[in-house]
Amino acid sequence: MIRDMTIGNPIKLILAFSIPLLIGNVFQQLYNIADIIIVGRTIGVDALASVGAASPIFFFLLTLSNGLTGGLTVITAQKFGAKDESGVRRSVTVSICISLLATIVVTIFSILCLKPLLAVMNVPAVLIQGAYDYISIIIYGLISMMAYNLLSSIIRALGDSKTPLYFLIFSTLINIVLAILFICVFGMGIAGSAIAVIIAQAISSLCCIIYIMKKFPILQLKREDWKLDYAFAMQHLKLALPMALQFSIIAIGIFIIQSVCNTFGPNTIAAFTSAIRIEQIATQPMLSFGIAMATYTAQNYGARKLDRIRQGVLSCSGISIAISLFMGFIIYNFGETLIAIFISNAEPEVLSIAKTYLMISSTCYFFLGQLFIFRNTLQGMGDARIPFIACIIELVLRCFSALYITNMFGFLGICYSNPISWAGAMLLVTISYFRKMKQMKQSPYWQPSLQPHHEI
């Protein structure tokens, strides 16, 4: 269902968009988490550590895909908000071409650099073959990951966040079944886990294609929509490349942290891997609000309803604060219990290391929630520069924590790396948002709301 977010109550629109998105994000995380649980409980700690040691590369590919496709479809959402149907179709064709080219380049580059990357990451010799087997399959199947992220982003750009959710739930269940089948029945080991991920993502993509063809007349592409428009393509790239690079920089920070973590041995790697997966689930509500704000802002910016952007940010920020405090409380108090889900008969050392990380990180979810809100709002307004600088700040602060604080205090440096980087980046994007809103108040497009919002 197409949802026009330029009319109606802002917070109700954002909530209606965010909740399906949240469920979808959780299920997307379950792709990897389910595999880790199955690997950790059926193969063992070393196998779990192998997947964990390679996880920064997987995270890099995932975030690169999310950043690129999310940036491309900002233009799609803006054209939809401006009621430009031809512009929407042309934006989709440009996005398809750019995504396909990027997939080919990244796949070739990743395969060529994989072995040197694993060496640079200090992956222990006992884990390196398992890590290579897992991540090489993920790389070869990158096309399915990119396809799903692009197609679901296009559907969400038109205001429909429910349909990608349904497909994702279905394919996640398939992933779990296949992972159990490949690992436990066929004895394919870690490779079976990766193959299950790729097949499940391919099914998600196919479902999106069929749905778009049947339900979205506005996306029935014509021959003229494929005509190359260099200026229009560059308009997409000016948003997509900084967002892809921005997300990649975040992944590079995780890469550095994991490289330092790998020097502590298999138990620490397994503990850190489990703790990170729990944190990724816990922070999904904040992430979902951020993604919703990008679409909401892009549509209203395209429609020149700038006052609605301010109203949406204010409401969404307040809800995000409440959720971040609640999730922080849950993880702080029950994190150790959740860790036990990942590893059968976990050693006390593994549980203790994971608990330490979660107790420190969970007290700072407030910073992450606000970072998501203000960064995505700026991106929805077409500002890729400030979010990119914020990612540079995140990278620098993560490197400082991983390399210097860890050198002085050991694993605690890794525990503090995310909170420090979240706080620094949040400060920049928050200040930049208020400065941009102050500038836009001088615009002739800025009109205070004179009529009450229509209920949905």
Convert the pLDDT of each residue in 48-64 to its tens digit. Answer: 778 777 777 887 888 88
Asked if residue 258 lies in contact with residue 339, where contact means CB atoms within 8 angstroms, the answer is: no
- What pLDDT score does 449 carry? 46
More confident residue, 378 or 4: 378
Q: How high does pLDDT run on average in the chain?
A: 83
- What pLDDT score does 28 carry? 66
Residue 216 confidence (pLDDT) above 90: no
- What pLDDT score does 448 carry? 52
- What pLDDT score does 343 carry? 62
Residue 141 lies in a domain: yes
- What pLDDT score does 452 carry? 40
Asked if residue 340 lies in contact with residue 346, where contact means CB atoms within 8 angstroms, the answer is: yes
Residue 380 lies in a domain: yes
Residue 3 lies in a domain: no
- Token representation of residue 310: 């301010």
Residue 36 confidence (pLDDT) above 80: no
Residue 446 lies in a domain: no
Residue 275 confidence (pLDDT) above 60: yes
- What pLDDT score does 49 carry? 76
CA 195, chain centre distance (Å) = 21
Length of the chain: 456
Residue 444 lies in a domain: no
pLDDT band at 447; cut points 50, 70, 90: low
- Judge if pTM exceeds 0.75: no
pLDDT band at 267; cut points 50, 70, 90: confident
Residues 6+ apart with CB under 8 A from 145: 61, 62, 65, 138, 198, 201
More confident residue, 172 or 254: 172
Residue 164 confidence (pLDDT) above 70: yes
- What pLDDT score does 453 carry? 41
Residue 5 confidence (pLDDT) above 70: yes
- What pLDDT score does 95 carry? 92
More confident residue, 158 or 90: 90
- What pLDDT score does 364 carry? 92
Residue 142 lies in a domain: yes
Distance between CA 309 and CA 110 in Å, rounded?
39
Residue 99 belongs to domain spanning: 10-438
Domain count, the chain: 1
Residue 445 confidence (pLDDT) above 60: no
- What pLDDT score does 455 carry? 36
Residue 145 lies in a domain: yes
Dump pLDDT digits (tens) for 107-147.
999 999 898 888 888 887 888 888 898 899 999 999 999 99
Asked if residue 26 lies in contact with residue 281, where contact means CB atoms within 8 angstroms, the answer is: yes
Asked if residue 260 lies in contact with residue 414, where contact means CB atoms within 8 angstroms, the answer is: yes
More confident residue, 378 or 267: 378
Q: What is the DSSP letter of 443?
A: S
- What pLDDT score does 137 carry? 93
Residue 163 confidence (pLDDT) above 50: yes
Distance between CA 253 and CA 237 in Å, rounded?
24
Residue 429 lies in a domain: yes
pLDDT band at 105; cut points 50, 70, 90: very high
Distance between CA 325 and CA 328 in Å, rounded?
5
- What pLDDT score does 2 carry? 60
Residue 152 confidence (pLDDT) above 60: yes
pLDDT band at 450; cut points 50, 70, 90: very low
Look at residues 205, 227, 296 and name the one whose alpha carbon lies nearest to residue 10: 296
Asked if residue 43 lies in contact with residue 127, where contact means CB atoms within 8 angstroms, the answer is: no
Dump pLDDT digits (tens) for 10-34.
888 888 878 877 877 777 666 667 6
Average pLDDT rounded to a whole number, residues 254-266: 80
Residue 69 confidence (pLDDT) above 60: yes
Backbone CA torsion sign across 112, 116, 121, 123: positive
